Each structure stands twice: as C-alpha cells, then as structure tokens.
C-alpha cells in the first residue's frame, strides 16, 4: 500500500472538507478585515481633504472680513474728521462760531 492509501484509510469521511472550510472562512475574515481597514483609511483621507478645503475657505473669508474692517475704519476716520464736520455745519446747517458775549462759562 502506498502512503496516500494509508492516509485515506485513516481519514475520517468529511474531514478534508472541514479543513478547507476553516481555511476559506479564515481567509474570508482576513479579507473582510483588510477591506474594512482600507475603507476606513480612504474615508479618513477623504474627510481630511474635505476639512482642509473648509479651512482654506474659512481663512479666505477671514481675510476678506479683515480687509473690509480696515476699509470701514478708514471710512469712520474720514467721517469723524473735524474739517468735514465743520464744512457740513457751516454749509448745510448754517451754523457759525458763537460770539464772545454768547459764551457762558460755568464754574
């Protein structure tokens, strides 16, 4: 008898199928785990890229707002200028400086 015949005689019927089934199921579990890890890796990179775009957009908005704030501060300074206020008071409101006798000093 050959060695293969001896192995077949001592083998329990259906044992070969069980060994290949365990091997296939463990291979399937490993494949699923690797696929899950790969999907999580890709998802995290996609999410990170999305967040980077959002940060860049927010920084752009911040820069525009800072520029607008500078312009508004210049406009406020221009509107508060004493020369401008005097021109408006004399021209539109027809105001003038008070005479000496119109001034009352309070102590």
3-state secondary structure of 20: helix
What domain range includes position 42?
17-97
For residue 59, tell me if it sits in a domain.
yes
- pLDDT band at residue 37 using 50, 70 and 90 as cut-offs: very high
First to last CA, the chain: 134
For residue 33, tell me if it sits in a domain.
yes
For residue 87, tell me if it sits in a domain.
yes
For residue 105, tell me if it sits in a domain.
no
- pLDDT higher than 70, residue 18: no
Q: In the chain, how many domains are there?
A: 1
For residue 63, tell me if it sits in a domain.
yes
pTM over the 0.95 mark? no
For residue 2, tell me if it sits in a domain.
no
For residue 11, tell me if it sits in a domain.
no
- pLDDT higher than 70, residue 80: yes
Tokens of 107: 């102590």
In whole angstroms, what is the distance from residue 56 CA to residue 45 CA? Answer: 16
For residue 61, tell me if it sits in a domain.
yes
């Amino acid at each position: 008898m050959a060695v293969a015949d001896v192995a077949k005689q001592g083998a329990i019927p259906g044992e070969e199928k069980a060994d290949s089934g365990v091997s296939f199921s463990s291979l399937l579990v490993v494949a699923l785990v690797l696929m899950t890890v790969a999907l999580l890796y890709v998802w995290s990179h996609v999410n990170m890229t999305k967040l980077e775009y959002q940060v860049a957009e927010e920084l752009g908005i911040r820069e525009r707002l800072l520029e607008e704030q500078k312009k508004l501060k210049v406009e406020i300074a221009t509107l508060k200028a004493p020369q401008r206020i005097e021109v408006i008071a004399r021209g539109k409101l027809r105001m003038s400086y008070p005479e000496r006798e119109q001034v009352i000093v309070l102590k």
